[in-house]
């Protein structure tokens, strides 16, 4: 399907917030997609940045098809992917699973993710990556604004692995009071919740 601009008007429990988020992302050049080749091209950037171990494109596609708001790519003028944003929107069941250590981001249970008609109870920053300096700046601005202006009412969880990622993650904390607190997921290898984008040592990054 490629860029999914026509999906901006999805009517669900977060309809207004979705529209705000997608508008902010679009201003930064990021559009949602469930196209397998676009997803794979984005994950390839993540592989280059993080050293491999990311989830398969088909898993990301399934999450995008479920939530309709999971995976966003930014394309250069020549059509190549130069960055992506991947978010997991957790419903009540998914939020409980995260808090009790049962969430498996490396192979998400789709029942833990919102679908059309469901409002998110928490956001999980699955992965962020970009290739060029311009796309990195656009990514950071888009995610920060989306947190402050669209999804500023619920907790957000992240596991940054770079200095840039930690700086950006800190900016996502509590823009709207206690209900929107930030959960820092620690860097350990023995907790299944840290499976993130796949592999035994999968991780989340903002590069």
The one-character DSSP state at 185 is P
Q: What backbone phi and psi angles, to 5 degrees, belong to 191?
A: -105, 120
SS3 41: helix
What per-residue confidence (pLDDT) applies to 193?
32
Query: Residue 32, Cβ neighbours under 10 Å: how many?
Result: 27
Pairing of strands 156-158, 122-130: parallel
CB-CB contact of 197 with 86 (8 Å):
yes
DSSP-derived letter for residue 62 is H
Low-confidence stretches of the chain (pLDDT beneath 70): 1-12, 52, 159-207
Looking at residue 197, the DSSP 8-state letter turns out to be: T
Residue length, the chain? 207
Q: How far apart (Å, rounded) are the C-alpha atoms in residues 12 and 50?
A: 34
207, 165 Cβ separation under 8 angstroms: yes
Beta strand segments in 102-155, E? 122-130
How confident is the model at residue 48, as a pLDDT? 85
Distance from C-alpha of 86 to C-alpha of 82, rounded to nearest angstrom: 14
Round to whole Å and give the CA distance between 107 and 117.
Answer: 23
The pLDDT value given to residue 105: 86
d(CA 127, CA 158): 9
**pLDDT at residue number 168:** 52
Pick from 122, 92, 86, 121: which is nearest to 106 by CA? 86
Global pTM value: 0.77
pLDDT of residue 89: 95
Query: Which of 3.30.450, 3.40.630, 1.25.40, 1.20.910 is the CATH number of 5-195?
Result: 3.40.630
Q: 18: which residues sit within 8 A by CB, 6+ positions away? A: 8, 10, 12, 69, 150
């Amino acid at each position: 399907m490629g860029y999914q601009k026509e999906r901006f008007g999805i009517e669900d429990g977060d309809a207004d917030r979705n529209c705000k988020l997608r508008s902010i992302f679009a201003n930064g050049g990021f559009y949602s997609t469930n196209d397998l080749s676009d997803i794979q091209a984005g994950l390839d950037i993540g592989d280059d940045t993080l050293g491999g171990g990311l989830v398969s494109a088909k898993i990301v596609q399934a999450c995008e098809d479920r939530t309709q708001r999971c995976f966003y790519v930014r394309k250069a003028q020549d059509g190549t992917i130069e960055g992506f944003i991947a978010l997991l929107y957790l419903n009540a069941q998914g939020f409980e699973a995260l808090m009790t250590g049962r969430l498996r981001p490396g192979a998400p249970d789709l029942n833990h993710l919102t679908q059309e008609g469901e409002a998110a109870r928490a956001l999980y920053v699955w992965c962020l990556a970009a290739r060029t300096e311009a796309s990195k700046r656009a990514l950071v601005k888009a995610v920060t604004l989306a947190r402050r202006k669209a999804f500023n009412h619920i907790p957000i969880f992240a596991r940054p692995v770079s200095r840039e990622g930690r700086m950006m993650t800190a900016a996502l904390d509590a823009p709207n009071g206690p209900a929107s607190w930030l959960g820092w997921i620690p860097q350990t290898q023995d907790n299944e919740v840290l499976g993130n984008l796949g592999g035994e040592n999968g991780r989340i990054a903002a590069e």
